[in-house]
Structure formats: C-alpha cells, structure tokens
A and B are shown apart, each in its own frame.
Chain A
Amino acid sequence: MKNKSVIIIGAGVAGIEAANNIAENGYNVTLIEKENLLGGNLKNYAKLFPDFYEAGEVKNNLINKLNSENINVYNNNEITELFFENNKWQAVNSQNQKFLADAALLTTGFTVFDAKRKEELGYGIYDNVITSLEFENMYKTGKITTKQGNIPERIAFLNCVGSRDEKVGNHYCSRVCCINAVKQASEFKEIYPDSQAYCFYMDMRMAGQFYEELYRKSQEKHNVIYIRGRISEAAATLDNKIQIKSEDTLSGLPLKMTVDLLVLMVGIEASIGTNQLASQNEINGEYGFAKSKGLYGNDNITNKKGLFLAGTCKRPLTIPETIADAKAAANQIIKYLNQI
C-alpha cells in the first residue's frame, strides 16, 4: 500500500500543505513547481490580513515540513500536460519528462489580473500607477515611494480592478482585495502617518473574521478616507502625479483629485496552468478556473477519477481557507489511495 503515490502540481500554499498531509500518512508525493522558489503567490506578500501575521513565517512553516522523505520536490518544472493513461496519472513537463502517480492534485492556483488591460487606469503608462502586488513589494523593502523617490503625500487605492468587471469577462468578486486594500492603507499610514490614504470602492466586502474590525480601525486610527465611487480614468500631471476622475456617488458629485501614487487592487484570475490543465481534463469551469464535482462535500474531487483540486485553482480564496481546503483534499486523496 505504501508504494502508492500522488503528483501535486503547484507548490504554493495548497500544494505544500496537501503534500505534507499526504506524506505524513506514508504515501509518496511528487511536488512539482514551475518556479525556482516554493511558496507560490504567498511569496509576494509581506504581511497577511487581517492580523498582519508575517507571510514569510507562514511560508517557512509550510516549507520546513517538506523534508519528509516521502516527498520529492521538483522545482523549475512546468507541467504542460496532465492525463490519465495505463491506470496512472501522468504529468509531462516542458522538457517532455514524465511523472507518474496513482492520483493527481491540481494546486495550480491563481495569477493576478493584468492591469494593462484596463488602459484607462494608466497602468504601464504612468510611473506612479502601481498594482497592489508592487505595493506589497515596496512594503517588503520598507520603501514606499513614488517612482521619483519621493514620499507619497497622498495615496489612493482602487478596488475591483479586473474583478466584478464584465468588460474584461470577470464577473466574480475576488474576495480578498477589499480587505487587502484596508490592510495596505493601514500599513501605509503606519509608515507615513502624515500622509493621506484614500480608498475608492464599489462595495466594501468585509466578510471575514476581524475584517470589519480592521476596516473600523483603519478609519479610526489611521484616518483612511473611503470614497464610494469607481475611478474611471487616470492621467499623469506634468510633475508625475496622478490625476484621477471618479464620482463621489454618495454626494452625487464628480470628484477629481491628484495623488502621488495610485494603487490598483488587482483581482484574482485563474493561472495559465490552471486553465490549461483543467481544460485538458475537461474540468474547466467558469472564467478559466477548475471545476470540482460539487460544492457540498465534493469540492476537492472532480469528474475525473483520481484527479483532485485544492486552493485557488477553483476560485478566489484567502490563505486560511486555502490551508483548510488543502487539508480536506489530502484527506480525500488518502481515502482514494486506500481504496485502489
């Protein structure tokens, strides 16, 4: 029994967590990651909402458990094909190398929306329009500045860039950007209490434990100003500031302002790998995400026998949700391996 094996594609939060759980039960795990470093999207974050927990610590805790001898990690391996043949799940990488196992777990995760597709917001055109990911990066280095190296006196966060947007084909809510904006605005104010942070939103969706509290704190302690309105256009001024146009919908008046830095809270999209591998196995759901068999109790299994799903390859999830989901997937896989 113990010779049975599973391939896990994607060594992000879900992949690593599931690998650890499965290996603990004595099965062989092949964990394949396309990048050099493990950790997936978690690598991009400094601190996590809502409690400012160090993302690095979460990542290290996950990776440290990987030294079980049942786990083989292959980094720099991009899987391009995944199929079931001769009673084995076979994953083929870009160098045509094959990995075989009894079960496969897709943890290919998400990628962030390419903000260049919303040209009117000026990303990729004006220096001081950045994405939330770039903000996170700056925060990590401790230097949140404009491209010219100045301390931003005014910063604006714009929610729902690439999510809840039918024009780019993403009807869904990415769930994490609202609270992420609150987090980043608070972080910004921690560093620069004298600067001003504005947050433009369509709806503030604080549906998570301690989210609302963080939102409240950002208003009370950090004096973050929330404006209900979507920014429709951004343009650079001569001194490299960003002029934004919005409507203050609650007062019903057009709103114009100049900020030093505009942060676009880019939404979650299915990663290329997710899209590719899911459609190869006919489990592609809406918006390029992978589709599980059902939401209630069948969320980790698919219509393909032996193919499992965990994490954000299915839909936008937070990190605690992803960890829980990976554990559930591991449980399902172990059950499956025991049966065959």
Chain B
Amino acid sequence: MKNWGFKISQARIIDLDKANTKMFEDLCLKVPSAKRCIMCGGCSATCTASNHTNFNFRNCNLMFRRGQFEGLAEELDKCMLCGKCKLVCPRGVNTRAIIYNMRIILNKMNYKNIEL
C-alpha cells in the first residue's frame, strides 16, 4: 500500500471490508424488524435511560449493524428495557427484542468479560 505519510486511526473508520456484519444477519433472524430501522431517532429521544446518561439505542443498533462491537455490551447494559422506544417507533421495530438479543449475542461473542 502506498504510504501517504499519515493514517486514519483504526477506531475512527468503519471498514466494511473487514467488519463483521454477519452478526446483524443473525440478529435479523431473531428480530426481522431490525432491518426496518430508518434511524429517525425517536427511540433515543424518548429513552428513559438517556434521560440520565449518554445512552443511545439508535447508535448501538447502528454500530451493531456495522459490526462495531467494541464497548457495545457495556453500553447496552445501561438500558432499562422499559419499552418506551418500542412504543414510539414509527417503523414498528421491536426495539426491546433487539436489545435483548444483542445482549445475548454479544455475550456469546465474549466481547464482555462476565464477572459473576
């Protein structure tokens, strides 16, 4: 590769050549409506947890979709699963099911060290 003398830091780029987007396909098998999200942000606007902290469900969903799993499990742990997001979603996405399944998938992937 040609050396440009500078490089883009790894964390700042989504490299879809290497990203693991298979996980999102697995998620969609469980929650087909996950594909329908148009990122309107209604969910994160109404979120009970975002009222307290910088949790952003829409972003988590997008990151998962793009195969960016770093720190995602910890982020998802902020969610209270209250379901408000599911109620406001205009696309009828089962947001609660997405979080639930993302948690389980991420756990299986060992992106998080479980301390019991």
Contact = CB atoms under 8 A, between A and B. Distances in A.
Interface of A: 120, 160, 164-167, 202-203, 228-233, 245-249, 252-255
Contact of B45 (A165, A167, A202, A232): A232
Q: How large is the interface on B (under 10, 10 to 19, 20 to 34, 35 or more residues)?
A: 20 to 34
Most buried by A among B44, B45, B46, B59: B45
Contacts of A164: 90-91
A148 to B, nearest CB: 27
13 contacts: A120-B46, A164-B90, A166-B89, A166-B91, A166-B92, A167-B90, A202-B90, A232-B45, A233-B45, A233-B46, A249-B39, A252-B58, A254-B56
B45 to A, nearest CB: 4
User: 7 tightest CB-CB pairs across the interface, nearest first?
Assistant: A247-B41, A166-B92, A232-B46, A232-B45, A249-B41, A230-B40, A230-B42
A246 B56 contact: no
Interface of B: 38-47, 50, 56, 58-59, 87-92
A266 to B, nearest CB: 14
A177 to B, nearest CB: 13
Contact of B90 (A230, A248, A253, A254): A230
B81 to A, nearest CB: 17
Contacts, number: 66
Contact of A252 (B40, B43, B59, B88): B59
Given A231-B45, A249-B44, A254-B47, 7 more contacts: A165-B90, A166-B91, A167-B90, A202-B40, A232-B88, A233-B45, A247-B42
A235 to B, nearest CB: 12
A247 B43 CA distance: 8
B56 A230 contact: no
B50 A254 contact: yes
Contacts of B89: 166-167
Contact of A166 (B39, B58, B90): B90
